[in-house]
Structure 1
Amino acid sequence: MPEPALPRHAELLVGLAVCAVGLATTIPLPLYGQYAARGGYGAGALAMAFACYAATVIVSAPLLGPLPDRIGRKPCVLLGVALAALSTLLLAIFPSIPALAVARVAQGLGMGCVAGAAAAWAAELAGGGAAGGRRAAGVIALATIGSFGVGGILTLGAVAAWPGMLPPVTFAAHIGFALLLLALVARLPETLPRSLAARQAGWLRLPAFPRGSWATTAAIIPGWGATGIVLTSVQSVLAQQGHALLGPLAACGMMLAGVLVQQAFRRMRPRPAVRLGLAVLMLGSGLCFWGAAWGGGLWPLLLGGAVVGIGTYAFVYPGGLAAVAEAASGEDRARAVAGYFVVAHLGFSAVPLAVGLAVDALGAGMALALAWAGLLAGAIGIGVASARSG
């Protein structure tokens, strides 16, 4: 008996599911400063809640990585979307820093569930082979980048249009979007044969770090560390100054600029891209920190945030990821990419947390000055090591 035909363009639904999970992480972003100010929390508490996402990704990566090959692609994607909707619902009901910490854990688990499962499922639904893989990769990349780039901007627009409406209308829209996708994605066929799932060995997949890639991998620590500072301490400092929406505006501009410029330089060789990105990153973070804490004003803040996004998302991140993929052998490439993301999320959590605690202890000006000096020292060391290694 012939197998039923796959739905046409089914991979697009999987891409929308990834978009729903990504939106959960950025839709509440403009309200971070309000959450902290409302409860009397400082920058350290906000950074700690923010870091729960990255910590969850790091801890759960060895288990969630092989899960799509054990229980199937569809259950993982459905679970990821459900966790994303749950995180938004939690923040809609309890808009606070403690709820943000729990929501960030749910978001980290949700992204971990869909990260590997969605790419494999979309490729198989697209027909498999090289053409299906390329089409699926494009769909997943667009869904991820798009959700990270527009989620916060949508909420900023909602807050500006209806300032008295809390939570913003984007929260309800996201929950409705996720529920609709749960119903639609549940109708798609599973593509992992049961016999193959039964033959998979082990429930854990540890990350790997190929030789020769440590410098380009380490570069993501100041890269994602600086973006994390803009998302946490800069927002908290500006909210305390009475500019609750300026921090989110800088953060959204950071992500959007990085995404747009990334497309123009995607063919640049990995190591030169990383070195250029570190230099751009130092310029942008200096401008942004000056605008936030030292009275530089609106334009250095916004311009600096955009330049941070360009340095990180257009150069350091794709360059480092490509260098790891080149250095790893075929069978270890997935584990090497997982290792790269472990280091990335370490920078995304530890650096903003340290700076947030320093803001509370030393004041915004001193803390951000020390943060920039630390980022500069790391960038110089990593850039020199990258140049020496080729």
Structure 2
Amino acid sequence: MSGVAAVGAAVFAIGFSTTLAMPLFTAYAAREGGGAGGLALAFIAYAATLIVTAPLLGGLSDRIGRRPCVLAGLALAGLSTLALILAPGLAALAVARALQGLAIGLIAGGATAWAAELAGGPEAGRRAARVTAFGTAGSYAAGGLATLGALWLLGDGEPPLTFWLHIAAVAVLIPVVARLPDRRPRERVAWLRVPAFPRGTVASSFGMFAAWGVTGVAITSVPSALAAAGHPRLGPLAVCFMILVGTAVQQAIGQLPARRLSLIGLPVLAAGAGLVVLGTLAASPALLLAGGALVGSAAYGFLFVGALAAASEAASGEDRARAAAGVFLVAHAGFCIPPLLTGLAVDAFGAPAALTGFWLALALFCALLALLLRR
């Protein structure tokens, strides 16, 4: 296995862990009586951990080297799966999500840089970015789909076979990655890398708050509502489809201006979220898949690319990394706040009122962001 492929496989294994247990989220919540709010609280441990640790982890690989960070990420991803094997439930899910947040934080940026250093040559950066981007986005959909397939083929017994396969893959990859060469950093790098928001990027950055807010609700409250209606597998299937379509759109987007990407993404996101809400309340696979396709296109395609492009264009040099970190900070805040508030609202007022209220707030927020972008 080449060095670039080994790093890509490590990134894939770490990302795979984040959605591996997604088809069982509602089962964990139902088993412990946590409801949609309890599930959302356990789920957001991932994003909350990333928000808290991002200033420290963002530049860690530049200070201590790439290999220790990737190895630690693999170990933490394996431990997250082991926690769910040993004690399946909301408490273990919260621990697993926190471990996954640390793992992703450790490899963010550093894994792509290491792959580029291992590749060498004039096309190194582009090739490395393609490998790690596919490893990241592709793994998010693959984890949930693999477990859905295992549950369908082998029954509902826990833990699913995919949990053990993930542990085995991590055990194989750790010695492979440990043998890769790693250039020790020669320059001193600051321990903290504080996110920044260059002038003119706030509206596009908060487009990611809306985008990942919708995806967080789609992963927590939507499956909870569908499971309560007797469709426990429909929610995870729609989420995996959403991620797959979003990944494809992300790769297909051409060189559109950053502002135009965001202006396209906002109405698409609102329309897709509306279809997801209707599909959830009607338990309609067609509406859920159509809405998931639109949400994935907007969240992982237009709004994600537009926000990063706007940050890159507005900053220069080392400030570009801090500007990108600002985008991810706002995005992960969206992964925390809307899912938690919506989950609590589902428990308090029921799914129809909570999801309808969420969509109305989202539509208003998207309209406000579009107005700011046009100005």
User: Which bracket does the TM-score occupy, shorter chain normalised?
Assistant: over 0.9
Is 2:105 aligned against 1:105?
Answer: no
| Partner residue, 2:165 | 173
TM-superposition CA deviations, 1:74-127 (whole Å, max 9, x none): 000000010001001111121101110010000000000111221111111112
Deviation at 1:130, TM superposition (A): 4.2
Is 2:290 aligned against 1:269?
Answer: no
Does 322-331 or 296-305 show the bigger shift?
A: 296-305
Candidates 329, 332, 347, aligned match of 1:345? 332
1:69-148 equivalent positions in 2, closer than 5 A: 69-127=62-120, 130-148=122-140
| Partner residue, 2:11 | 18
Letter aligned with residue 68 of structure 2: P
Letter aligned with residue 375 of structure 1: L
Q: Label 1:33 to 1:253 Cα distance change in 2 as closer, same or farther (>3 A).
A: same
Letter aligned with residue 59 of structure 2: P
Supply the distance in 1 between the matched residues of 2:72 and 2:357 (Cα, whole angstroms).
41
Is 2:227 aligned against 1:234?
Answer: no
CA contact (8 A) 1:125 1:191 kept: no
TM-superposition CA deviations, 1:236-275 (whole Å, max 9, x none): 1111122110110111111111111222224222211111
Letter aligned with residue 285 of structure 2: L
For structure 1, which runs of at least 5 residues remain unmatched after alignment?
Answer: 1-7
Q: Secondary structure at the match of 1:166?
A: coil
So what's the TM-score if we normalise by structure 1? 0.94
Deviation at 1:286, TM superposition (A): 0.7
Supply the distance in 1 between the matched residues of 2:180 and 2:42 (Cα, whole angstroms).
35
Deviation at 1:303, TM superposition (A): 1.7
Q: Secondary structure at the match of 1:330?
A: coil
| Partner residue, 1:368 | 355
Supply the distance in 2 between the matched residues of 1:94 and 1:322 (Cα, whole angstroms).
42
Of all paired residues, the percent bearing the same amino acid is 52
Supply the distance in 2 between the matched residues of 1:186 and 1:51 (Cα, whole angstroms).
31
Q: Secondary structure at the match of 1:329?
A: coil
| Partner residue, 1:281 | 269
| Partner residue, 1:213 | 201
Supply the distance in 1 between the matched residues of 2:354 and 2:104 (Cα, whole angstroms).
31
| Partner residue, 1:325 | 312
Candidates 293, 297, 315, aligned match of 2:284? 297
Supply the distance in 2 between the matched residues of 1:298 and 1:126 (Cα, whole angstroms).
43
CA contact (8 A) 1:37 1:239 kept: no
Equivalenced residues, count: 375
Q: Secondary structure at the match of 2:108?
A: helix
Supply the distance in 1 between the matched residues of 2:284 and 2:170 (Cα, whole angstroms).
39
Deviation at 1:9, TM superposition (A): 2.9
Letter aligned with residue 290 of structure 1: L
Supply the distance in 2 between the matched residues of 1:79 and 1:56 (Cα, whole angstroms).
16
Could you list the structure 1 runs, at least 4 aligned residues long, displaced by more than 6 angstroms after superposition.
none
Candidates 234, 254, 258, aligned match of 2:246? 258
CA contact (8 A) 1:37 1:240 kept: no
Supply the distance in 1 between the matched residues of 2:284 and 2:318 (Cα, whole angstroms).
50
| Partner residue, 1:53 | 46
So what's the TM-score if we normalise by structure 2? 0.97
Deviation at 1:283, TM superposition (A): 1.1
Candidates 172, 186, 190, aligned match of 2:182? 190
